[in-house]
Structure 1
Amino acid sequence: MTDLLFIDGQWTAGSGTRRGDVFNPATGGVIGSVPFAEAVDLDRALAAAGRAFPGWAATSAHDRAILLKKSANIARDNAEEMAQAISREQGKPLSEARMEAGGAGDHIDWYAEEARRSYGRIIPSRAPQVMQSVILEPVGPVAAFSPWNFPVGQLVRKIAGALAAGCTIIAKGPEETPTCIALLVRCFEEAGIPAGVVNLVFGVPAEISAHLIPSPVIRKVSFTGSVPVGRHLGAMAATHLKRTTMELGGHAPFIVFDDADAETVSSLGVGLKFRNAGQVCASPTRFLVQEALFDGFLARFAQKAEALTLGAAEEPGVQMGPLAHARRLQAMQDYVADAVAQGARLVTGGARHGNEGWFFQPTVLADVPLSARIMTEEPFGPIAVVNRFATVEEAIGEANRLPYGLAAFGFSNRIERTHAMVRWVETGMLSINHFGLAAPETPFGGIKDSGHGSEGGSEGIMAYLTPKFVSQRNG
C-alpha cells in the first residue's frame, strides 16, 4: 500500500509531496515512506467526519454491531499480514506481533456487543405525571492519536469504541508504523462502514493536533502517549472545551513479598519487563523485593534476562527485538551511566547489542538510589531496577512515591498483604499474582499523571457517549 491516507472512503497519498521515511529497527535501514497530510487533507477529513456523523449516529446499535462484527472477522482473516507489518516496522518479535494483531478482532467484537448494551435508565419522579429518563448519545466526531509501540492494539480500541457508540473518527496514526495501521483501517472499509465514518491521516504530529483539536467539528479527543505530549494536547482540548481520554506514561511497581515463589515470579517479571523491548506503558520498572527473598529473586531474574535471545523478528527463537528509534539507544545508555554514577549496581546488560539495528541488552540494575534519574523517569526500554524493602508500608510508600499511576503488580499468598495492596496502591490497574491486564472486556487506563479515562470494558464505550436527561410531563 502506497496511498496510506484514508479520507472520506478513499485511499490517497494526500495533496502534498511531504513524506516521512519508515525504518526497519532491526537493521536501521529505510524500508518505505509515509505521506504527510497537509491542511487541505485535514479539512477534507473534518468535513467527511462531520458530514457522516448524523447518519452514523442514527444507525441503530443493532446495525452498527453487525458491521463491527464483520470488521472483526475481516481483521482475523488479515491478522497474519498485519503481524508481519508490525514486526517489520516496529521491531517486536513475530510471536508478539501475532498476539497483537490476532487480538484486534476480539476488541472489535467486544465493542460491537457493548453497542447493543449502551443502556440509559429511568429515574423515579416525584410526580406521577412526569417521566424522567437518561439517554446515552454519541458525543460526536473524534480525533484520536495513537502510538507506535502497539500500533494495532492501541488504535483498534479507539476506532471500535468510537464506532460502537455512534461516533465518527479521524485517526492520526504513528508515522513509524503506517502499513499495519492502514491494514487495520482497511478491515472496516471492507466490512462496509460508510464513507467518512473512519478516516486515517499521518503527518507532523504538532501540525495535525493543532489543526484537528480546535476544529468545531471535533467533540472528543483520545490520546495515548507520553505525559508531556498528553499535557499539551489536554490543555489544547480544555481551551476548546473538548472531552478527553488520556492514556499516558507509567513507572509500574512490581512488589514481591517474601512468601512468593522466586522462580515463578522472576520468570513472569522477565516476560513482562522485556516484552516489546520494554516499550510498554504498563511495563514494570521498579521491582521491589522483600529482603528475605531479594538475593534469590535477583539472581534468578538476572539469569533469565541474560538468557533472552535478541534478534530480528523473522529469526527463529527470538524473544526480544530492537528499540523502535535510534535515539533510544543513547537514552538507555544515559540511564545506566547515571544510575551507576549514583551508586547502583549493574548486574547484567547495560550496553548496545551488536552493531546493526537498534538493539539494547536486557539490563538489570540493583540497589538503585532514589536520586538516579531512572527512579523518577519512565525509561520506556529494557532496563529493570531491583530494589529491596522491609515492610508492607515501605513497599506501598515506594509504589506511591511517583506521580504515575497506570499499572502495578503484586505477589503474595497472604491475604493481609494482598488486601493492603488493593486498598492502598495508587494505580488505575492492579494485577495480583499473575498478569491480568488489557483484555477487551477489562478497563485499561490510569490515574494521576498517567491520565484519565479508560479504554476497554464497559467503561471504554462510555468515553464516547454523553448523557441526555429528559423530563417529560404527560397530561
Structure 2
Amino acid sequence: MYESYGLLIGGEWRRKGGAGEIAVSDPATGEVMGTAPAASAEEVEEAIDCAAKGQKLWRGTQAWMRADLLHRVADRMVSRAEEAARRITLETGKPLAQAKREWGLSTDQFRWYAEEARRIYGRIIESRAPGGRVEISHEPVGIAAAFTAWNFPAFLIARKVAPALAAGCSIIVRPSREVPGTAMLLMDCVKQAGVPAGVVNLVIGPTATTYDPIMASPAVRKISLTGSTAIGQQMIRDSAATLKRVSMELGGNAPVIVFDDADVEQVLDLSVPVKFANAGQVCVTADRFYVHERLVKPFVEGFTARARALKLGHGLEESTQMGPLINQRRVDAMERIVADAKGRGGRIETGGGRPAGQNKGFFFEPTVITGLPDDALAVAEENFGPIAAISPFDSAEEAYARANTSEHGLAAYVFTREPARMREAAQRLEAGMVGVNSYALAAAEAPFGGIKASGMGREGGAEGILDYMNVKLTQVAV
C-alpha cells in the first residue's frame, strides 16, 4: 500500500525518500505491514518551496472556488470510506466501526469548511475622520504546517487541512510515523479532487529531517500540533525565532463528576464505551471518575462488570470491542501506572495487565482501579490507555476542587439531572470543553480545544478558521 503513494511534494508522489524507509507495524500482531519512504531535510525544504508557490496561487483563488474544491475532497473521501477505515484499523488497532466513524468525522470537516470558506466576514467601523471608514478584513496567514498524532490519523489531519484550505493557506502535513498510510489516502483524496499542486504537501520521517527544516523556515508562518504537552512546549520555544503563529491541542486528564441525582445505569451506558474506545488512547477520554459516595458502590460494580465483559481482539474482527495499544511503549506505560497504583494501596477491580494467552500485539486489559490518592499516576497524570480510576466524594466543593487540580484543562464532564447544577458545573470546571450528561465534544461545527497545559487555539467551528487568518485594518479617508 505504502509503495503506491509515498511522499507528496509539489503535487507528485515520491515512492522513495532521501532518508530511507520507515517500517509500519500492525499493533494487533506486531508484524510489519510495509515500509514508507522517509523524507530527507532537502526534500522537506523542497516541500516548503512548493508550498510557497502553491500559496501564491491558492490565496488568489476565489473563496467560492475553494469551497467547491473542498466539497470535491469530501466526495472523494466518501467514495473511499471502506478502504480508509480498513487502513485506519490496521495502523492504529481500533475496531473497524470506530475507524469508519473517524473517517466520517474527517469528511465532515471538509464539508463544514467548504461552507466556512464562503463566510469569511469582515466589518466596517465608522471612522472618527469626516467621511472616512475603517475596514476590517481577513487574509490567509501563509504557509501552515500540521504535526499530528497517531491516535486519530485521519481526523487530526482533516481538522488542520480543511480550515487551512478554506482560509486560503497552503499546508505541509507531517503525520506520525506509525500511521503514514492513512495520511497518504487522505492526501490522495485532496489531490484527486483537483486541489492545485503544491497547496497540500505530505512529508514523513524522523524529527531531524522533517521537524527542524519546517521550524527553522521563515516562510512557514503557522504551526498546528496535536501531541503531548512536552512536545508543544518545545514547539512554542522553537517557533519564537521566526515568530510563527501556533495552535496547540495537547494532553488531557479529563475528570468526570457523577452527582447523587444521576442515573447510574445511564452514566455507565455512556461512560464505559467512551473510556475504552481506541483502547483509551483519546485525549478527551475520561480518566478520573469522581462519584458521589451514595452512588459509588453500584457505579464501581457496574463499571467493573462492563469493562470485564469487553471483547478484545483484532480491529478487523467484527466481534472486537477494544483493540490493542499502539506500541510496546504504551504497554510499558500502563504497567508502570498499575504498579504505582498497587504501591499506593489501590485496588485493581479488574484488568491490570496483558490478557492471558495473548502473545501477539500490544494488548492491555480494560482496567478499573479504586482507593487511590489524588497524587497516584492513574489520577494525577494522563494515562492515555484503558485505565479508569474511580473515587468517591461527598460535596460539590470537594468534587470541583479535585477535578481542577490537574495542570491540564482540555475536557471535563458532569452528570446530573439538576439544571442549576448543570450551569454551576459548566462555570466551575476549568476546561476548554465541558460535557453535561454527554461525552460528545468533537464535531466539525464546534470549536475543540483546551486551556492551561492542554494548549491554545481551537479546531472546528467558525472559530477554527481564524487561526489560519490574519486580521487587517484599513483606514480609508475620503
Task: Indicate the TM-score class for this superposition, using the shorter chain for normalisation.
Answer: over 0.9
Q: Residue 6 of structure 1: SS of its match in structure 2?
A: strand
Deviation at 1:436, TM superposition (A): 2.2
Q: Is the alpha carbon distance of 1:248 and 1:64 closer, same or farther for their aligned partners in structure 2, counting shifts above 3 Å? A: same
The answer to whether 1:434 aligns with 2:421 is no
Letter in 2 for 1:326: Q
Residue pair 1:267, 1:301 contacting (<8 A) in 2 also: no
Q: Is the 8 A contact 1:409 1:432 kept in 2?
A: yes
Whether contact under 8 Å (1:431, 1:437) holds in the other structure is: yes
- Match of 2:322, SS? coil
| Aligned partner (choices 274, 277, 293) of residue 275 of structure 1 | 277
What letter is aligned with 2:20? R
Partner of 1:345: 347
* Rounded Cα–Cα distance in structure 2 between residues aligned with 1:299 and 1:376: 23
Q: Matches of 2:246 and 2:165 in 1, distance apart?
A: 16
* Correspondence for 1:396 among 360, 378, 400: 400
Cα displacement (A) at 1:238:
2.2
Which segments of 5 or more consecutive residues in structure 2 lack a partner in the other structure? none
8 Å contact kept, 1:209–1:233:
no
Kept in 1: contact 2:44–2:209 (CA 8 A): no
Counterpart position of 2:83? 81
CA contact (8 A) 1:14 1:41 kept: no
Q: Which residue of 2 aligns with 1:408?
A: 412
Q: What SS does structure 1 have at the residue aligned with 2:134? A: strand
Corresponding position of 2:250: 248
**Residue 120 of structure 2, aligned match among 118, 130, 152:** 118
Counterpart CA distance in 1 for 2:203 and 2:214 is 11
Aligned residues: 474
Q: Alpha-carbon deviations, 1:21-47, whole Å to 9, x = none?
A: 100011111111111110111011000
Contact 1:14 1:38 in 2 (8 A): no
Fraction of identical pairs, as percent: 46
Contact 2:369/2:388 (<8 A) preserved: yes
**Residue in structure 2 matched with residue 461 of structure 1 by the alignment:** 465
Counterpart residue number, 1:368:
372
Tell me whether 193-202 or 208-217 shows the greater mean CA deviation. 208-217
Which of 325, 328, 342 matches 2:330?
328
Pick one of 355, 360, 367 that aligns with 1:356. Answer: 360
Query: What's the CA shift for 1:416?
Result: 2.7
The Cα of 1:279 is off from its aligned counterpart by 0.3
- Judge conservation of contact 1:18–1:36 (CA < 8 Å) in 2: yes
Give the 3 Å change call, closer, same or farther, for CA 434–17 of structure 1 in structure 2. Answer: closer
Conserved 8 A contact 1:333-1:350: yes
1:327-380 per-residue CA deviation (whole Å, 9 max, x = no partner) reads: 211110110111111011110000102211111000000121123122222111
Match runs of 1:60-459 below 5 Å:
60-353=62-355, 354-459=358-463
Instruction: Look up the SS of the partner of 2:237 in the other structure.
Output: helix
Contact 1:392 1:417 in 2 (8 A): no
Q: How much does 1:17 deviate?
A: 5.0
Unaligned runs of 5+ in 1: none
Assess if the C-alpha contact under 8 Å between 1:76 and 1:104 holds in 2. Answer: no
The letter of the residue matching 1:80 is: E
CA distance in 2, matches of 1:398, 1:312: 37
> Could you report, residue by residue, the CA deviation over 1:379-418 in whole angstroms, capped at 9, with x for unpaired residues?
1100000001111111111111011000011100112321
One-letter amino acid of the structure 2 residue matched with residue 260 of structure 1: A
Shift of the alpha carbon at 1:14? 4.2
Query: Structure 2: how far apart are the matches of 1:468 and 1:371?
Result: 47
Amino acid in structure 1 at the alignment position of 2:157? L
Q: Say if 1:470 and 1:14 are closer, same or farther in 2 by CA, change over 3 A.
A: farther
Post-superposition offset of 1:444 = 0.6
Contact 2:17 2:37 in 1 (8 A): no
What is the aligned partner in structure 2 of residue 16 from structure 1? 18
Deviation at residue 239 of structure 1 after TM alignment: 2.7
1:17 and 1:263 mapped to 2: Cα distance? 53
Opposite residue 319 of structure 1, the aligned amino acid is Q
- Matches of 2:16 and 2:319 in 1, distance apart? 40
CA deviation profile, 1:198-241 (whole Å, cap 9, x unmatched): 00010013442211012011000000001111110111112321
* Whole-Å separation in 2 of the counterparts to 1:83 and 1:246: 26
CA distance in 1, matches of 2:209, 2:350: 42
User: How far did residue 64 of structure 1 move?
Assistant: 0.2
> Quick check: 2:449–2:456 contact (8 Å CA) kept in 1?
yes
1:196 positional shift = 0.2
TM-score by length of 2: 0.98
Is the 1:246–1:452 Cα contact (8 Å) retained in structure 2? yes
Following TM superposition, by how much is the alpha carbon of 1:103 offset from its aligned partner in structure 2, in angstroms? 2.2
The one-letter code matched in structure 2 to 1:243 is R
Q: Secondary structure at the match of 2:475?
A: strand
TM-fit CA distance, 1:454: 0.6
Check the 8 A contact 2:19/2:205 in 1, yes or no. Answer: no
